[in-house]
Chains A and B, each alone.
Chain A
Amino acid sequence: MQMPVNFLANIGSLVIGLLQSIGKALFFMTSIIIVMPYAIKRFNLLLKQIYFLGVLSLPIILTAGFFVGMVLSLQGYLVLVDFNSEEAVGSMTALSLIRELGPVVTGLLFAGRAGSALTAEIGLMRSTEQISALEMMAVDPNKFVYAPRLAASIIVLPMLSMIFVAVGIIGSYLISVGWLGVYDGFFWTQMQTHVDWNNDVINGIIKSIFFAVLVALVSLFQGVNAIPTSEGVSRATTKTVVHSSLGILGLDFLLTVLMF
């Protein structure tokens, strides 16, 4: 009769472990958010992180945005042409890009490109004792390492998302106007009547800010809690991508319900 007792004990320790990691994550979050003002004062640190997280993510964002825009219009056109309303292809593409695909796909790509790099970097800094060394030099890693990375993510992701949307719309224009022969004027006017600045664009930007906070916190947390060996770091990197991707999708659903 040992089995059921063990089973219960296992469930118990699993639940406790889960609660513990939630608590740990929350502590970590608040300790970084408290020192955020410091990150903005240290402009040089911020600039470097904007470069690493933003500029280096540009190529993938540009290519992905362009192709997503083209594919959306191609698919949209095939459906809309049956109803003789192929001019709506512009507004359809723009709306889906601005409300959903811009923030979400950028968030996912950001998690894969920048989030994983963040985790690996922090994990490596820990395994080479750089974080310990900072603490010993009386420099708070929260201020010096984590806060600038969180701040840079929050600045960078909405920018990347906006670039993604713009490039996507250019791709859509090339396909629908340049190739499929939709009338140029209708393409833009349809868009302008259907895309609302306050309700669509601003909400899209708010979404990407939420995603930025999510991805940055998950990546930093995974980096800090990675077992400081090459195997531990690589496992933490995988976890970052999986957790933040799932987090983005869940959060997106929640935000969409609240916003639209």
Chain B
Amino acid sequence: MSRKMIVEVWVGLFTVLAFVALLMVAFKVSNFQGVQKETYQIKAAFSNIGGLKVRAPVKISGVIVGKVIDIEVDKETYQAIVVMAINSDLNHLSLDTSASILTSGMLGDQYIGIDPGADEEYLQDGDYLDIVQPALVLEELIGKFLTNLSGE
């Protein structure tokens, strides 16, 4: 085998190895989904988002259907505006869909759970969700529990 061929074979092997590594990182390690799915945006205003972060998942019945892409404070109401990107194949969410900030497990990451309603009309790109439930904050829960105790 000539020197040139040896070089070519090794470079080929190297490239294959790098490609396999890339595939492994893409499909086994990260959330790579090939071509980015089409999405549309819906928004919701929360009085408290707890520990919700950008890129947190949005779930319906526990299935991931989108993710949080932006969180900011409304300058007038001082509420947190959470922008979600929802997969376009789920474009039949009724207008009275509700959103709540939930926690996976006792101390896990927070995500948004949405519950479809029964309205005839559907949410469009950029619409706000009206029915929201803010995150449960542990301190507030304990506070309530204590006032209830003393009230008895």
Instruction: Determine the main DSSP class of B at the interface with A.
Output: helix
Check if A201 sits within 8 Å of B30, measured CB to CB. Answer: yes
Known A51-B7, A58-B14, A201-B25: A166·B20 in contact at CB below 8 Å: yes
Q: Mark A147-183, 1 if CB is under 8 A from B, else 0.
A: 0000000000001101101110100000000000000
Min distance, Cβ B54 to any Cβ of chain A, angstroms: 10
Closest to B10 in A: A55
Cβ of A249 under 8 Å from chain B:
no
Closest to A159 in B: B18
Closest to A169 in B: B29
Cβ of A251 under 8 Å from chain B:
no
Cβ of A7 under 8 Å from chain B:
no
Please give the number of chain A residues whose Cβ is less than 8 angstroms from any Cβ of chain B in the complex. 27
Known A47-B11, A50-B11: A165·B21 in contact at CB below 8 Å: yes
Complex-state Cα separation, A166 to B21, whole angstroms: 5
Residues in A whose Cβ lies below 8 Å from that of B30: 98, 191-192, 195-197, 200-201
Closest to A152 in B: B11
Interface of A toward B, CB cutoff 8 Å:
47-48, 50-51, 54-55, 58, 94, 98, 159-160, 162-163, 165-167, 169, 188, 191-193, 195-197, 199-201
Interface of B toward A, CB cutoff 8 Å:
7-8, 10-11, 13-15, 17-18, 20-22, 24-26, 28-33, 55, 57, 109
* CB<8 Å pairs between A and B, sample of 24: A47-B8, A50-B11, A51-B10, A55-B13, A55-B14, A58-B17, A98-B30, A159-B15, A159-B18, A159-B21, A163-B17, A163-B21, A165-B21, A165-B25, A166-B21, A169-B29, A188-B29, A191-B30, A192-B30, A193-B57, A196-B30, A197-B26, A201-B30, A201-B32
